[in-house]
Amino acid sequence: MSRAAELKSNHQQAHTNSTQTAQVVNATEHMRASWRDYYELTKPRVVMLLLLTALVGMCLATSTWVEPVILVAGMLGIGLLSSAAAVINHVVDHKIDSVMARTFNRPVAKGKVSIRNALIFALALGLVGFVALAVFVNMLTAWLTLLSLVGYAVIYTMYLKRATPQNIVIGGLAGAAPPLLGWTAVTGEIHAYGLLLVLIVFTWTPPHFWALAIHREKDYAKAKIPMLPNTHGVDFTKTCIVLYTLLLCLICLLPYLTGMSGMFYLVGSSMLNAYFMYLALKLKYRASPTTAMTTFKFSILHLMVLFVVLLIDHYLPI
Ligand code: HEM
Ligand SMILES: CC(C)=CCC/C(C)=C/CC/C(C)=C/COP(=O)(O)OP(=O)(O)O
């Protein structure tokens, strides 16, 4: 064999070896999903914020301290059922996820966790969560939390997400439920103040999500999901963000006006809302390429601090 032919042959062999190695690595990846993959399936950071809103719902429902058993079993049950809903969302959406740049690396979309294993995981989380609520908290909370799971994993993910650009407005009700779930965990009944907290998260959801949808407009178009920026244009979506943020500013006054919260809340929430409104207006009239993502990130900080402010206000001795 000439020197050139020998080099070519070696090169081809190396290429074949590296292809085989890649296939073996892929197969091993498929078989060996780590605990991190399962953890990721539960959307942990989203669930943490949901749990914060549930905790605040619990604390605001009573003028004393929340009973430890209710606190632990309630948080565990709401957290596990929310996680189960998130896992089902990964299963139902695995094809969409594999098309979008933001989500293609997710464990089910990538094939690291099989659909069967993900469903078994979701069932286990859901069962333990439901039993924890039913046994240690109360049946009203258990059923309402299960209803929220169905709202997110079935009604939003399987149907609304693919059907209408109003998907997240209607579907947002499930994600907004936790403060009420916290409230019913403590009192066993639905109270207008619990519903007011739901209304706050419900109104916050459209600006939260649409800001991201603007930034990821091409992703959703590629996956053929009818999100508002794709169906009605980016400019119309920005107007909707401004209007929902305005509505949020007004609704956030209600806890003070109804006597649920005091002056500390009024000042804190007004500052947060003023900055949210500033970002929404900047996005509409003076956007730079980063404004949509800045607004999305701030929305998360906004809700987190808003609920911490509600909590501090509740325990302030004035
Ligand atoms: C239907 C309603 C909602 C929709 C469509 C929505 C959509 C999204 C999307 C697409 C992301 C990006 C996830 C990623 O980076 O992969 C996200 C992130 C996030 N969402 Fe929402 N969301 C909704 C409701 C909520 C609610 C109710 C909460 C909490 C109370 C929440 C909290 C968060 C948090 C904390 C993140 C950041 C997650 C991270 O950094 O990993 N979302 N949301
Ligand atoms: C029991 C209970 C309270 C259930 C609610 C559970 C839950 C995880 C709500 C959060 C809503 C959310 C992250 C929507 C994004 O879904 P998406 O599919 O539009 O976003 P993705 O593309 O990032 O998956």
CA triplet 88, 210, 48: central angle to 5 degrees? 50
129 CB near ligand 2 (under 6 Å)? no
46 lines ligand 1 (CB under 6 A): yes
CB atoms within 10 A of CB 160: 20
User: CB under 8 Å to 24, separation ≥6 — which residues?
Assistant: none
pLDDT digits 0-9 by tens, 36-76: 999 999 999 999 999 999 999 999 999 999 999 999 999 99
Q: Distance between CA atoms of 307 and 272, rounded to whole angstroms? A: 11
Q: Is the distance from the beta carbon of residue 212 to the nearest atom of ligand 1 less than 6 Å?
A: yes
Confidence grade of residue 26 (pLDDT, cut at 50, 70, 90): very low
> Does the CB atom of residue 40 touch ligand 2 within 6 A?
no
What percentage of the chain carries pLDDT values higher than 90?
A: 87
Closest CA to 92 of 162, 45, 39: 162
ipTM of the predicted assembly exceeds 0.90: yes
Q: Specify the CATH number of the domain 35-190.
A: 1.10.357.140
- Placement of tokens 């197969």 in the chain: 27
Kindly report the average pLDDT of the chain as a whole number: 91
CA distances, 68 to each of 53, 114, 132, 297 (Å): 18, 37, 14, 33
pLDDT of residue 31: 55
Q: Whose CA is nearest to atom 6 of ligand 2?
A: 82
Q: Tell me the per-residue pLDDT of 108-132, one tens digit each, with 9 for 90 and over.
A: 999 999 999 999 999 999 999 999 9
DSSP 235: H
Q: Where are the alpha helices (DSSP H) in 216-253?
A: 217-222, 228-232, 234-251
| Residue 81: count of CB within 10 angstroms of its CB | 30
Ligand 2 atom at shortest distance from the alpha carbon of 145: 1
Is the CB of residue 145 below 6 angstroms from any atom belonging to ligand 2?
yes
Ligand 1 centroid to residue 42 C-alpha, Å = 12
